[in-house]
A and B are shown apart, each in its own frame.
Chain A
Amino acid sequence: MSKTNILPGFRPALGFSLLYLSLVVLIPLSTLVFKILQPDAHLSWAGYLDIIGNERVQASFRVSFVAALIAAFIALVLGFVLAWVLVRYRLPAKRIFDALIDLPFALPTAVAGIVLASLYAPNGLLGEPLNQLLGVKIAFKPAGIVVALIFIGLPFIVRTIEPVLQEIDPSMEEAASSMGASRWQIFRYIIFPNVLPAAITGFGMAFARGVGEYGSVIFIAGNLPYVSEIVPLLIITKLEQYDYSGATALALTMLVVSFVLLLAINLVQLMLLKRPQTPTAAKAKP
């Protein structure tokens, strides 16, 4: 293979990639699998199924994945609008906006969690009016988890969509408009298909981050078993009770499910890249 490769350094590059992946990703993760397979782990297959089958555990999986999914969707819409505004309009203090968007990356997630919790608490700055006017409670409810995860996921979406939006040639939109397309049609058939692959990447990243998020969620979630308890919290709880095999079983399941979901998102993206969007659903085969 390296003989026909024009770029030099294929072997060292591959070697480095494998080394890095092994040290940082594969070895720690496979330790997890080994841990469960060790004879002294006291974890049989039946034992594993028992742990996973537990109702509280199942509820926590539901909470974790559903909340991350909803949050990633909402963040996708908000993030698209934000990216659009940042790219298309000349804002005063654009740099400050830009920096603000990255803030969730840098902020310790626990800080974000505490701030959000106090804001949305029933007597908080936002929580009180929301509760009194609309009867909506956010903090210490599953909705609180979603709010925290939107906050965490937003920068992923904005940062993946922004460069793609920047690259869209405005004359492509002008061309569509000269052919009679309405603004909605331009968005639907020109902008949206061009942004979609990046949007899916951003969505996948926000979702993955949301599933594993711990710090910001536990302060706002209320952590009620069966209702607003997330899997990472359950893992910590099990660790604190010296139930190492239980924690490992949860972690491994989390790992597999996340990996499968991310793989699925990547596959969807690949399919979309191959099958472009056209104005009418029925594709003409000349």
Chain B
Amino acid sequence: MSIILKNISKRFGNFSALDNINLEIPEGELVALLGPSGCGKTTLLRIIAGLERPDSGHVLLKGEDKTYHDIRDRGIGFVFQHYALFRHMTVFENIAFGMRVKPRKLRPTETQIRDKVHALLALVQLDWLYDRYPDQLSGGQRQRIALARALAVEPSVLLLDEPFGALDASVRKDLRQWLRHLHHNLNVTSIFVTHDQEEAMEVASQVVVFNHGHLEQQGTPSDIYDHPANAFVSRFIGDTNIIALESHHTDWLRSSGLDIPPQPDCLHVRPHDIDLSKATSDGAATAILKDWQHLGALIRVELAKPLPDGAEEIVYAEMPNDRFKQLALAIGDKVDLTIRQAHWFHEEIGRAPH
């Protein structure tokens, strides 16, 4: 089911949670609503679900305006951040609930319910837990039961609020892959909310970045990473060096291989877009290797670029292990920088890279 949001705004008192959001989600996508906490992404999810009403704007599901429809009539499956399993019911009854509350005419028979519940339990690979109560399950199990329960009513859209937020890191990693595969098999339009950019990039086919109630950018993970629309997106997705462009920077940046456009404010460079070579003599783009860390597949190098006014700019570069070995660098060595690619932004003054 396709989802179209038109001019959605929502305020809580003086706080503007969502400001004129326009968003179109085609059928079958797995979309991440990504942003720092308090950016309005959960509010938007709840508006799509019908758990909140927007102050203005429209929610169109499959082309129909459902802005003022109750969550019951939207054909939506919702997975809550803390699962919201019915604690007084077994796993079986939790999943069967949506079928049991149907009007008598539409209600499946007991056998149908049983088959469906067991099929769903098999789908989430937890069939042996059918007679347990929620408080006897681990976090990851609860999460998957919550998902099975949401799928039991055959929703045309699946909404997940911070689906991995309350899980520990290793379980989270497994579940991400699992969710991606599940979506691939079921092909239900799915939207999940997350503040973790890695999670969004890894799981989603489309990422929507929010900040302070504004939609900053929508696109595939590669789009967003390679062509960030603005400084916020560039900073929020992945690591980046942010260099506030003042006159004393132009020389060394030019000699590191960049063309500098007429009036930019700041420059974002991904650490892996910086290449190093051992310096033979002091050039314009020569920096000093201050420190390096082993990140696994990559080595992160901390470089200090001395500036004409006596200060220095700290720049981070990343490169594969063997490239670093090949360079055979030690702390204190001089290196020449080559910047392969950079993004220019006007609206923001740089801050320290993270």
A: which residues have CB within 8 A of B? 169, 171-172, 174-182, 185, 189-190, 193-194, 276-280, 282, 284, 286
Contact = CB atoms under 8 A, between A and B. Distances in A.
Contacts of B130: 286
B87 interface: yes
Nearest 10 CB-CB pairs, A to B? Answer: A179-B98, A279-B100, A171-B84, A175-B84, A178-B78, A181-B101, A171-B80, A276-B88, A193-B88, A172-B84
B118 A182 contact: no
A276 B93 contact: yes
B97 A177 contact: no
B47 to A, nearest CB: 13
A180 B153 contact: yes
Given A182-B72, A193-B88, A286 B118 contact: yes
Nearest to B49: A178
Contact of A174 (B51, B88, B90): B51
B136 to A, nearest CB: 13
A178 B85 CA distance: 13
Given A286-B92, A286-B114, A179 B82 contact: no
A178 B97 CA distance: 11
Given A194-B88, A276-B90, A177 B70 contact: yes
Contact of A286 (B82, B89, B117, B149): B117
B150 interface: yes
B149 A284 contact: no
A284 B113 contact: yes
Contacts of B78: 174-175, 178
- For A174, A179, A181, A189, the residue with the greatest tally of chain B CB atoms inside 10 Å of its CB is A179
26 contacts: A171-B82, A172-B85, A172-B86, A174-B80, A175-B78, A175-B84, A175-B85, A175-B86, A176-B101, A177-B70, A178-B49, A178-B71, A178-B77, A178-B150, A179-B98, A179-B101, A181-B97, A181-B98, A189-B101, A190-B86, A194-B88, A276-B89, A278-B93, A278-B100, A280-B110, A286-B131
A178 B110 contact: no
A260 B298 CA distance: 74
A197 to B, nearest CB: 10
Contacts of B153: 179-180
B102 interface: yes
B87 A194 contact: yes
Given A172-B86, A276-B89, A284-B92, A179 B97 contact: yes
B289 interface: no
B271 to A, nearest CB: 40
A282 B110 CA distance: 9
B275 to A, nearest CB: 50
- For B82, B96, B100, B149, the residue with the greatest tally of chain A CB atoms inside 10 Å of its CB is B100
B32 interface: no
A160 to B, nearest CB: 17
A175 B80 contact: yes
Contacts of B101: 176, 179-182, 185, 189, 279
A194 to B, nearest CB: 6
B215 interface: no
B152 interface: yes
A286 B111 CA distance: 9
Given A185-B101, A279-B97, A286-B130, A179 B152 contact: yes
A169 B82 contact: yes
